[in-house]
A and B are shown apart, each in its own frame.
Chain A
Amino acid sequence: MPSSQVFAANNCGRVFSLSTDQSCWRELPYLGVEFKRVSAHETVLWALGGDHQVYVFVYGSSVPIRVCEESYENQRWNPMEGFTSVLLPSDRANFSSADGLAPRPLSSVTLPTLAWSWESAWHLHYTHNGQALDKEGWTYAIDFPRTYTAEKRWNSYVRRRKWIRYRCYVALDTWSAVPPIHHDPAQEPFIDISVGGGEVPGEDPDKLMVWCVTALGRIMVREGVDGTCPEGCGWAHVPTPPDQDVTSVWVGRSGRVWAVTWDGTAIVRTGVSRDCPTGVEWVVVDPPEGSRLQQVAVGVNSVWGITRDHRVWYRRGLQASQDTGSDSGKHDNETGHKNLDTGTTWLLMVGLLNMIAVGPNDQVWGISIEDHTILVRTGVTETELTGRTWRPICLPAGTFETPPPSMNSSPSSSPCLLPFPTSKISSSIDSKQPTDTFTKDEQSSPSSSTGVSLKALEDNDLVIAEKVFDKLQLLQVQDAETEQENDVKLSRKENDESPGKESVKNHDTTTQNEGNDSAAPDDSRESSIRIRYPEDYPSSLSSSVISEHGGDFISSLQASDDCILPSDALVASQNSSEVKTSHEKVSEDADSTDIQSRENSTAASNNQVKPEKQEHLLIHAEQQSTSSSMEWSESRLRHTSSSSSAGSEAGLSRGSLVVPREEGANYKLLALEAEHLWLWVTGGGCWIRANNMPKWFVSECCPALSTEPWRVGVLQKLRDRHGKEMKPFTGYEEAVEGSSWVISGQCRWWVKGQWVPASLELIMIGSRRSQVQDATLIVRYTLGSKRVEEISCSTILMSVMCVEPTASRSFVAIYHPDHPLWPKTLSFSAETDAEDWLNHLSTACNQFRGLTDQPSFYTVWGVTSQGDIFLHDCSTTEKELRAESVAAHQRLPVGTGATPITLLLNRGFRPGCFVSISGKIHCNADQFHINLQTSRGTDTDIALHINPRFCEKTAVINSKKKGIWGAEEFGQLEVLSPGDHCEVSVVCDDKDFKISINDKFWYSFKHRLVVTKITHVVVRGSITVDEVTYNHGAGERQLTEWYWRGLGGHLQRVQGGAGGVTWGISHDFHVYTYTGATGGGLYKASSNDAGVQIMSDVRHMYVWENQRWNPVTGFTYRGLPTDRHTWSDQTGRHQRAKESVKLQSRHWSWTSEWCVDYHTPGGVDREGWQYATDFPLSYHAHRYATDLVRRRRWVRKCRVSTSGPWQQMEKVALVHVSVSPECAEDGTIPVWGVSVTGEVVVRLGVTHNKYQGEKWKLVPAECPMCSVCAGVDGCGVWAVSKDGQAHLRLGVTKKTPQGVQWVNVDSPGQPLVEVSAGAWSVWGLDRSGSLYRRTNVLPLFPEGTAWEWVCGSVASFSIAADGSVWAVLDTYDTEKGTVQGVIARRVGVSRSCPLGTGWEHTIGTGWSSVCARVPLPL
């Protein structure tokens, strides 16, 4: 399971996160603002600050958010001057948007907020529809708005070119303020916030819904919040029914909205859908009898509520949100929906809570009333939404640490330095040199009290800003006055309620407040200017802070408890908003060494913490932009500049010019550490599961136990016991013999085209420690007569399982070298039986082969279309071969040794074989010879003839073909002399025989005949042979003899590289690294399962809906008889109804209903349709008059829960990843990836010990990419952009593995999807499955010259570092028929034929991806 985070705010306003794989709360960076409420989604956290403004914290991604701003420069030709920027009055503006409707001068395109920074200056874009343009980048057309072409023609009257500039969201992992509704943030502060969405049917998953409640009881919705615009772009008011002012709101993930009004009833927004994200109308839901609601929490299928007496209620009668994309009339839907959205009755649950939250999967979180601990509801499942019990999370809270820089290229890595309360300042970023500006800010702000960087602010901004500032000042002073009064009231209220010692403290506080009236009481002099949070917080102060911050929250609760009229509530909330006016501070207690009044404690602590913490808040200053709304232009930027102009005044606040107010110390009676009381929790981005709770509850966690001292002690003692009682007695007989173990079962067996009932027996023979020495699968069945089939586990090469849900049968396929593509298949009626047998078989095979350890670096990875992961370890094969070759060493019988001797080389002769003859040369020898010949006879072809002629004082080496001797070659005779013992050995190499005499190399003789024809060795002449040894060498392993080992997990692709570093990407774009363990998933009995983690993955199922137009009824399902089915698969050939789409196995579950897919490739209209003139022509989103058919895609999500040796990387979503097959000079292995948004990133610090690496680095590219291929030297780094162009990274060497710049390389006409390279051999794959090779790629000219077509029907491919080409073939023809998804290696690749001649396939079908990048070193 991917780790995810739950967030909570405590009584000090600090926000903490708790990851599902950790057992410690971690504090988020504190930037000077406290938070009251937080609401999380997977990637982003929205919060309500102590100042009652809204803040956003993007945490979920370490890949930067980049947006390309573009503007088109238009020119028209006139006969006088040629092309000029003088256009006709009816024309578009000189600089305009793509459609020409809006003028868009470059200077008007500004950053939306200060959370963004420009990445580069404006520059031209040089491609047009995948075609490279000339230096000026113009495209031409007859007139606006026609189709533009790259070529200038005689009738090209207009031209345009595209200017682009990237902006980058820099406020990652830091808080950033969201602009308020009005210019003056104090005018309408917020009192509640909720983030939802992401699972609205048909809507983009990154499109979020942010609903807020203001102090006026109005509901505001933040518009345009999505992945590329995390802070949204405007506020929209959603009117509530009259007299129904709202205090609290909750948005569910499916878009269900509930709100609570001041009188404690709930109102539910109906009709929220993709088309209407703010809903249609409100429906009132009565609260539980006799109670008033205080808060509700909405999940996908459940709604929980808390009443003011803290009781917890569950809403019954809700149903899953129905798909809204269906054609049925809206009105029917609405009436039907009402009940579905509102439910029927409230059900009282056990427990008293302060607040409640619902996360994904309808998991429920809460905060207990008595000790403010965070609770998790256990046992919440789809069938039991109410769960079982509340379970507290009691974990230590770590304090704030500087977060690791997410992306060192982006300036966001260090939180921006901006004092918050003093001035609501924001720095503005110099658009051209963002990094520089930030550095300056960092240096300047600690010294200057305001820390304003004015550099980039325009003058007119300043003027306006000053005015606004003045206004603000007045207003805030007023606020401050009312605020103080109210706080006194508030404290009193708290006294009534807060139990125990806290109330005593509060009492102190209150009396002091009363005594000092408007003055700010000082707590303790000596505690001035200290980082008071969290350890150093003086205990006396902490108590007051607890009551203060707790009070804010409680006050709002109380406000509702006491049924205060809305107007009162407004005051209450305003008071609690403690409007952070620096001016107040300036006037009242400008001495920053003073501890501020409790009323201001939030602000005060900000002031004092800042200079030391050096962490500041980045506030959005929304820059003036003509194109944006009023709201945008009238933003807090004004305050920024204004307060900066008033810098001298603000400086007083820190400058100690004002006499400090003295006051007696206020000590607590008991020295207690600051209590940690949780006030708000959000699990909106946290995926937990009832059956698999995170490590937070220590007792459940097995890995945590492994370090427990007692467990370590027990294990050590057990090992000692082994050493003492057993080691010394190894010679003793075993009382229980390691006997064979039989597993038996029943199945059906596929034989001769039918399923036959069969009984199965797996016999394993082995000693203890589950070492299998031999294993055989015996299948007994009756087909006519009784038959038995025995399959030795040594011949089983792969076992795969698949489930046929429609037939409710599960298959285990066993691949055997005899039929590498057609398995022997067992069929089981129970899925669990099949799983057991797969497990038994693979365990037996692995143990038989001794494969229990981590695979070597030289591993080929394959992933099937089911997401199963297999690996073949080439070094194991190498080991097996070596073992075989040792066994292959044989001594041939020579009898008395008298010549002639003719011996059979029984296993043939080929490269790698060797034969050695030792004997004594006769004293009077004149000559002898040794032949390697192709048959027994004397008149046969001789491949090698070694003939020392002592009489002629020479040694002749020759060959004989068809009775004719070849050209004689001569070797030295000195090494041999009559009477000596000698040993002549011949090693067959690829190109020659290497002959050595007495272990010294003597001669090399080039092959003249085909060596594999050699069958006999013959010795004749004056020699007595002592010994002939023959080694037939290692047998070659065909690809179809490779053993594939299964691993647990579910991934889309796996990429291995140097040092065994292996990364994988799941279908939901999570990134995993291989832990080196084996097992997981279905492979249970593994000895090495320490690194096995829980995993999950999400896939989408699709069906297509097809319609044909007829003139009477319009589009209907009644098609022509020849047409495709109404419901079909993508090809349209097969019927595929929604009901017939089943889950892949019992480990999968649906996570959504069927809904229309609005993201169908090619684009869709508002209802999701694509049109075409006829099936199956090309589809387009817009309907033309000629279009007679239409189709749309329906999608349903499902999720698998499994486990595997894969560790998830956090905070990154990649579509493509590639691990370099070579190390860089510093020993790191660059891992390149492409993010979902098309950014190229490289992971630094990856070594073979540290698979995860250290950090991401952005490698900015001009256009969004879709794939990348990592390399270091011989391969280079190649990427493919979304428009199908190849890009080569220049300057990639071992020293600079990240390279210097991208260079555009053309595509082979068709858009590419992937390019991979190795050993100066570059191959590319296009969208239609054609494989190309880049010609003339040379180290000096790595771009090559052109693409050369190799073959088609390739689904994916991989180039090894030695240049060998691997691919998954889409279709592969065999004699038994065509199969799909075959892994194959390109054969016949040579210098003269670089494209190769064909494919050599491995075993198995249904593969979807292969990775073979690291070849076995020779």
Chain B
Amino acid sequence: MAEDREILREVWDGRVPVCVQLASEDCSTLSAPDPYYLMIPRLSYFPLVMDKVRKHFLRFTAQELQDAEMWLESDGTPLKWHYPVGVLFDLQCGGSALPWCLTAHFSHFPEQDLIRCQTREVVESHFMSSLKEADGLKHRGQIITNMQGKDHKQLWMGLCNDKFDQFWAINRKLMECTPEEGFKHIPFRLHSNCQPPLQRLIKPIAEDGRKMTLGDLLHEFLPSAINEGDRVVIQGIEAPQDTPLQWLSEHLSHPDNFLHICYITAQT
């Protein structure tokens, strides 16, 4: 792949400012604790970065909640931890009011909306399965299966510890392709705030040899025409519609190798 470190670096360094407050019903002390302000990497997952917050708030919660799983809620919506932080942010907040205000809960786990996440290993296995799925789409899974266990570990640790070089040393291999053909398919997920994410097969290069662009993808998979005021956000930016999909996939994908596209309608 033609590696464009300038872009990759910029994407990797994306952070979201959050302000976490403890839900009032979980607060056992008289005065509510101060909110916790934090910069969270966009590419990370909440369970990986909330340890400090959890420790901070646990002191203010009842004894029986000490082992409870912390879950986050933004503006009434429980946040699905298995989406990258940046995707949740773009969908929920969209950068309208910064910092992003979250509420931390220790009780009333919304079982119907969220999956439990007790340990980091759960996140790791979710991440790895996403990665495998993406490589299945890109290279029929040949690259990820040929990798050694320590490479997998390095990818994961690179993500956990926010180590760009560590991560990209391995991820580079996953982004390899022949320039003529590109990936088999572009692994992408099209999120919108009301529906479950949409995932379809799309090739980076059309039958006639033309390079598929973001506009082509949207045209094909968005239910209707884009209304005025609607935004299509990847990594917090509205990429030009004529950006080739192959390039987007190589440079603007999340660490799980999926291109997470957020379609935000104007009403919300």
Taking Cβ atoms with an 8 Å cutoff, the residues of A that contact B are 391, 697, 699-702, 705-706, 709-711, 713-715, 717-722, 724-726, 728-729, 731-736, 738-739, 741, 768-770, 1085, 1087, 1089
Stretch at the interface among B4-12, B66-74, B123-131, B189-197: B4-12
What distance in Å separates the Cβ of A237 from its nearest Cβ neighbour in chain B? 47
Q: Mark B226-256, 1 if CB is under 8 A from A, else 0.
A: 0000000001111110111001000110000
- Chain B interface size, as a band, is 35 or more
Q: Which residues does chain A contribute within 8 Å of B6, judged by CB atoms?
A: 715
What distance in Å separates the Cβ of A1248 from its nearest Cβ neighbour in chain B? 25
CB distance B49 to A726 under 8 Å? Answer: no
CB distance B162 to A736 under 8 Å? Answer: yes
Question: 8 smallest A-B Cβ distances: which pairs?
Answer: A717-B237, A702-B2, A729-B17, A735-B49, A710-B240, A710-B243, A736-B162, A700-B179
CB distance B211 to A699 under 8 Å? Answer: yes
Q: How far is the CA of A699 from the CA of B211 in the complex (A)?
A: 9
B98 within 8 A of A: yes
CB distance B10 to A702 under 8 Å? Answer: no
Nearest B residue to A391, CB-CB: B180
Q: Which residues does chain B contribute within 8 Å of A739, judged by CB atoms?
A: 161
Of the candidates B13, B166, B211, B243, the one whose C-beta lies within 8 Å of that of A768 is B13
CB distance A721 to B239 under 8 Å? Answer: no
CB distance A729 to B7 under 8 Å? Answer: no
With A715-B6, A770-B164 known as contacts, the answer to whether A736 contacts B49 (CB < 8 A) is yes
With A701-B2, A729-B39 known as contacts, the answer to whether A717 contacts B165 (CB < 8 A) is no
CB distance A735 to B41 under 8 Å? Answer: yes
CB distance B13 to A741 under 8 Å? Answer: no
Nearest A residue to B248, CB-CB: A714
CB distance A719 to B161 under 8 Å? Answer: no
Q: Which residues does chain A contribute within 8 Å of B52, judged by CB atoms?
A: 733, 735
Q: How far is the CA of A715 from the CA of B11 in the complex (A)?
A: 9
CB distance A714 to B240 under 8 Å? Answer: yes
The 22 sampled A-B contact pairs (Cβ below 8 Å) are: A391-B180, A702-B4, A705-B2, A705-B247, A709-B240, A711-B247, A714-B7, A714-B237, A714-B240, A718-B14, A725-B14, A725-B236, A726-B15, A732-B17, A735-B40, A735-B50, A736-B44, A736-B160, A736-B162, A741-B161, A741-B163, A1085-B165
Nearest A residue to B236, CB-CB: A721
CB distance B38 to A732 under 8 Å? Answer: yes
CB distance A710 to B242 under 8 Å? Answer: yes
CB distance B239 to A734 under 8 Å? Answer: no
Of the candidates A719, A735, A770, the one whose C-beta lies within 8 Å of that of B39 is A735
Within 8 A of A (CB), among B1-57: 2-7, 10-11, 13-17, 37-41, 44, 48-50, 52
What distance in Å separates the Cβ of B101 from its nearest Cβ neighbour in chain A? 13
What distance in Å separates the Cβ of A761 from its nearest Cβ neighbour in chain B? 15
With A702-B4, A721-B236, A741-B163 known as contacts, the answer to whether A735 contacts B44 (CB < 8 A) is yes
Q: Which residues does chain B contribute within 8 Å of A713, judged by CB atoms?
A: 239-240, 243
CB distance B252 to A714 under 8 Å? Answer: yes
Nearest B residue to A717, CB-CB: B237
Q: Which residues does chain B contribute within 8 Å of A731, judged by CB atoms?
A: 37
Nearest A residue to B37, CB-CB: A732
CB distance A725 to B98 under 8 Å? Answer: yes
Taking Cβ atoms with an 8 Å cutoff, the residues of B that contact A are 2-7, 10-11, 13-17, 37-41, 44, 48-50, 52, 95, 98-99, 160-166, 179-180, 211, 235-240, 242-244, 247, 251-252
Nearest A residue to B46, CB-CB: A735
Q: How far is the CA of A668 from the CA of B237 in the complex (A)?
A: 52
CB distance B10 to A718 under 8 Å? Answer: yes
CB distance A722 to B165 under 8 Å? Answer: no
Q: Which residues does chain B contribute within 8 Å of A768, judged by CB atoms?
A: 13, 162
What distance in Å separates the Cβ of B213 from its nearest Cβ neighbour in chain A? 8
Q: How far is the CA of A700 from the CA of B1 in the complex (A)?
A: 9
Of the candidates A702, A718, A735, the one whose C-beta lies within 8 Å of that of B38 is A735
CB distance B37 to A733 under 8 Å? Answer: yes
Nearest A residue to B214, CB-CB: A710
CB distance B238 to A733 under 8 Å? Answer: no
Q: How far is the CA of A715 from the CA of B240 in the complex (A)?
A: 11
What distance in Å separates the Cβ of A481 from its nearest Cβ neighbour in chain B? 51
Q: Which residues does chain A contribute within 8 Å of B7, judged by CB atoms?
A: 711, 714-715, 718
Nearest B residue to A1087, CB-CB: B5
Q: Which residues does chain B contribute within 8 Å of A769, judged by CB atoms?
A: 13
What distance in Å separates the Cβ of B248 from its nearest Cβ neighbour in chain A? 8
Q: Which residues does chain A contribute within 8 Å of B160, judged by CB atoms?
A: 736
Q: Which residues does chain B contribute within 8 Å of A1085, judged by CB atoms?
A: 165
Of the candidates B39, B162, B237, B247, the one whose C-beta lies within 8 Å of that of A721 is B237
With A714-B240, A728-B98, A1085-B165 known as contacts, the answer to whether A719 contacts B38 (CB < 8 A) is no
Q: Which residues does chain B contribute within 8 Å of A732, judged by CB atoms?
A: 17, 37-39, 99
Q: Which residues does chain B contribute within 8 Å of A725, judged by CB atoms?
A: 14-17, 95, 98, 236
CB distance B39 to A705 under 8 Å? Answer: no
Q: How far is the CA of A423 from the CA of B239 in the complex (A)?
A: 64
Q: How far is the CA of A725 from the CA of B89 in the complex (A)?
A: 11
Of the candidates B11, B38, B179, the one whose C-beta lies within 8 Å of that of A733 is B38
Q: Which residues does chain A contribute within 8 Å of B99, judged by CB atoms?
A: 729, 732
Q: How far is the CA of A731 from the CA of B16 in the complex (A)?
A: 13
Q: How far is the CA of A769 from the CA of B48 in the complex (A)?
A: 20
Nearest B residue to A728, CB-CB: B98
CB distance B98 to A729 under 8 Å? Answer: yes
What distance in Å separates the Cβ of A771 from its nearest Cβ neighbour in chain B? 12
Q: Which residues does chain A contribute within 8 Å of B162, judged by CB atoms?
A: 736, 738, 768
Nearest B residue to A715, CB-CB: B7
CB distance B37 to A741 under 8 Å? Answer: no
Q: Which residues does chain B contribute within 8 Å of A699, judged by CB atoms?
A: 179-180, 211
Q: Which residues does chain B contribute within 8 Å of A709, judged by CB atoms?
A: 240, 242
CB distance A724 to B44 under 8 Å? Answer: no
What distance in Å separates the Cβ of A712 from its nearest Cβ neighbour in chain B? 9
Of the candidates A391, A705, A721, A726, the one whose C-beta lies within 8 Å of that of B4 is A705
Q: Which residues does chain B contribute within 8 Å of A721, judged by CB atoms?
A: 14, 235-237
What distance in Å separates the Cβ of A700 from its nearest Cβ neighbour in chain B? 4
CB distance B239 to A715 under 8 Å? Answer: no
Q: Which residues does chain B contribute within 8 Å of A726, judged by CB atoms?
A: 13-15, 17, 39
For the complex with contacts A714-B7, A714-B239, 5 further pairs of A-B residues with Cβ separation under 8 Å are A709-B240, A715-B10, A718-B237, A719-B10, A725-B17
Q: Which residues does chain B contribute within 8 Å of A722, judged by CB atoms?
A: 10, 13-14
Q: How far is the CA of A499 from the CA of B10 in the complex (A)?
A: 54
Q: Which of A701, A735, A769, A1085 has the most CB of B within 10 A?
A: A735
Of the candidates A710, A714, A735, A741, the one whose C-beta lies within 8 Å of that of B166 is A741
What distance in Å separates the Cβ of A377 from its nearest Cβ neighbour in chain B? 14
What distance in Å separates the Cβ of B110 from its nearest Cβ neighbour in chain A? 23
Q: Which residues does chain A contribute within 8 Å of B179, judged by CB atoms?
A: 697, 699-700
Q: Which residues does chain B contribute within 8 Å of A697, judged by CB atoms?
A: 179-180
Q: How far is the CA of A714 from the CA of B14 in the complex (A)?
A: 14
Q: How far is the CA of A700 from the CA of B178 in the complex (A)?
A: 9
Nearest A residue to B252, CB-CB: A714
Q: How far is the CA of A711 from the CA of B242 in the complex (A)?
A: 10
Q: Which of A702, A706, A711, A736 has the most CB of B within 10 A?
A: A736
Q: Which residues does chain A contribute within 8 Å of B166, judged by CB atoms?
A: 741
CB distance A733 to B237 under 8 Å? Answer: no
Q: How far is the CA of A717 from the CA of B247 in the complex (A)?
A: 16
Nearest B residue to A730, CB-CB: B39
Nearest B residue to A720, CB-CB: B237
Q: Which residues does chain A contribute within 8 Å of B236, judged by CB atoms?
A: 721, 725
Q: Which residues does chain A contribute within 8 Å of B4, judged by CB atoms?
A: 702, 705-706, 711
Q: Which residues does chain A contribute within 8 Å of B161, judged by CB atoms?
A: 736, 739, 741
Q: How far is the CA of A1272 from the CA of B1 in the complex (A)?
A: 47
Q: Which residues does chain A contribute within 8 Å of B2, judged by CB atoms?
A: 700-702, 705
What distance in Å separates the Cβ of A316 from its nearest Cβ neighbour in chain B? 27
CB distance A736 to B41 under 8 Å? Answer: yes
What distance in Å separates the Cβ of A585 from its nearest Cβ neighbour in chain B? 48
What distance in Å separates the Cβ of B196 from its nearest Cβ neighbour in chain A? 26
Q: How far is the CA of A768 from the CA of B15 in the complex (A)?
A: 12
Q: How far is the CA of A821 from the CA of B80 in the complex (A)?
A: 60
Nearest A residue to B159, CB-CB: A736
